[in-house]
Amino acid sequence: MNKPVHLNVEFLKKGEGHPTRIHYSTKEAIEIYMHENVVEVGLKSSMTPEALRDAHKKLGAFLRDKKIEDVYLPALNDQIEEQIYALFEGNYRFDRYLSKKGVFLKRVYLDQIPANIHAIKTVLDTQFMMKELLSTPYKDRNVAYFVDYAKELLHGLNGIHLEVHDHKWLQKEGLNLHYGVGKGSESTDPPKLILIEYRGGDDKEPFIGLVGKGMVFDTGGYSLKPSDSMIEMHGDCAGAVLYLHLAYLLATLKVRKNVYFALPIADNSISSNSIRLSDIIVGKSKKSVEITNTDAEGRLILADSVAWIAENKKLSCIITAATLTGAVIIALGKKIAGLFSDNPRLRMALLESSEKAQEPLWTLPFDKDSFMDLLKSEVADMKNAGKREASATQGAIFIYQHLLKDIPFAHLDIAGTAMDKSQGTSYGLKLFLDFVSEWKSL
């Protein structure tokens, strides 16, 4: 297997080398050009934080195209940390399969080295690994590979305990929704459940429960996706990729909290063994589900994991993250993720972390009673998908219906923010690092 590939970058103090220099000037529009050993960056006199980030992402891509490895980056209005993150976001490109490899930044010279530079480097490294795994196509990153990668990534980290359960265990434990989604590939790449316990806090402190969708590829099953919609479906495991690397980050930074992760992993393929429309499946929650759309599979695997960890672990909250619906992209575009929760404290904590991390969230409707009418079935406790109206909310409501305990719940639909032109992003990593660090159990 390919081992996790780490980002190798140094941060050095100005004067220790002879890097390409960045020079900022005021312009009417953003301009970037190179003159001898200086990259001139023209910025507007007044820019929003988002515009400043976008400018530095463009700068990072410019440096990559010019094959620049060493650069001096001056601080703008005490925003050096934000500049660094945006610069490396733009500098990244997934080049594993390109005949001509990219040249990325190796040394960044600064006026002053931030006191938290170790944390910054660790986050950058984790973002890099997250993008690499998410960008890798199914051929080289199936269910079995994902499991091996997780074991390699987390091996030897203090506070981490990892368990992997196979498709037979899923059936034995009653996680039939998860098994049903993945059984189309049972003979070649059967579904698995990765459970990760991170103990960084007090033994008596309950866990923060995080459940991430891990569809390593999603054809849509018998509700087959059109080609244009299927092209980025190797990225349908973004929720699991996010939470897997969050576990690595928490352990590496020694964050003093307890977190329990459930990562349901599966491949939604078509075979004679695949689930079909009109099938009725009883999940871990003991609730029956009429399958009305095999492409609404993510909510099925999440529902079983939500039911399992709520039953088996003491939780202060539970948050699902998933590339769940195209509807959230229609509503919010590709820069903002959807947030669904009726718990004010949990909702506000996530929004505050979103703002600090500059990874945008927007609250969408989540009325558990009225919206459940859209999932009403005549032959089962619920359908897995109704008609088109409020379909992003339908997904969140469906998952919640399988949480049988009174635990603060939130769902993040990251379908728009997880991928960018078939390449994975690192959306959510800084958001959840802040959330986990700041969340207080009652």
pLDDT in tens, 393-420: 999 999 999 999 999 999 999 999 999 9
Q: Express the helix, strand and coil content of the chain in percent, nearest 5 each.
A: 35, 20, 40
> What number of residues does the chain have?
442
Angle, helix 238-253 to helix 143-154, in steps of 10 degrees: 10
CA 245 to chain centre: 9
- So where are the chain's domains? 10-115, 129-438
Please confirm, yes or no, whether 254 is among the known catalytic residues.
no
Tell me the pLDDT tens digit for each residue of 156-188. 999 999 999 999 999 999 999 999 999 999 999
Catalytic residue selected from 53, 141, 199, 299: 299
Report pLDDT for 216. Answer: 98
Q: Would the pLDDT of 1 be above 60?
A: no
**Could you report the per-residue pLDDT of 18-49, keeping only the tens digit for each?**
899 999 999 988 899 999 899 999 998 888 99
Average pLDDT of span 5-28? 91
Active site includes 225?
yes
The token duo for 134 is 């998410």
Q: Which helix (H) or strand (E) holds 252?
A: helix 238-253
> What pLDDT is recorded for position 3?
83
pLDDT for the residue 46: 86
| CATH fold for the domain made of 10-115 | Leucine Aminopeptidase, subunit E; domain 1 (3.40.220)
Q: Does domain 129-438 have CATH number 3.40.630.10?
A: yes
Q: What pLDDT sits at residue 29?
A: 85
- Predicted confidence band of residue 59 (pLDDT cuts 50, 70, 90): very high
Residues 66-108 have pLDDT tens digits of 999 999 999 998 999 999 999 999 999 999 999 988 889 999 9
Place of tokens 């949990």: 346
pLDDT at 407 (0 to 100): 98
Residue 193 reports pLDDT greater than 60: yes
Share of the chain above pLDDT 70, in %: 100
* Cα–Cα dist 299/374, whole Å: 15
Q: What is the pLDDT of residues 274-307, one digit of tens each?
A: 999 999 999 999 999 999 999 999 999 999 999 9
pLDDT of residue 2: 65
Q: Looking up tokens 């909290």, which residue turns up?
A: 257
Supply the pTM of this predicted model. 0.97
Other beta carbons less than 10 A from residue 317's beta carbon: 23
pLDDT at 17 over 70: yes
* Alpha-helical regions (H) of 278-414: 298-312, 327-332, 344-357, 391-400
Q: Which residues contact 347 (CB under 8 A, 6 or more apart)?
A: 339, 341, 363, 410
From the candidates 225, 287, 314, 356, which is the catalytic residue?
Answer: 225
d(CA 105, CA 128): 12
Confidence band of 249 (pLDDT split at 50, 70, 90): very high
DSSP letter at 438? H
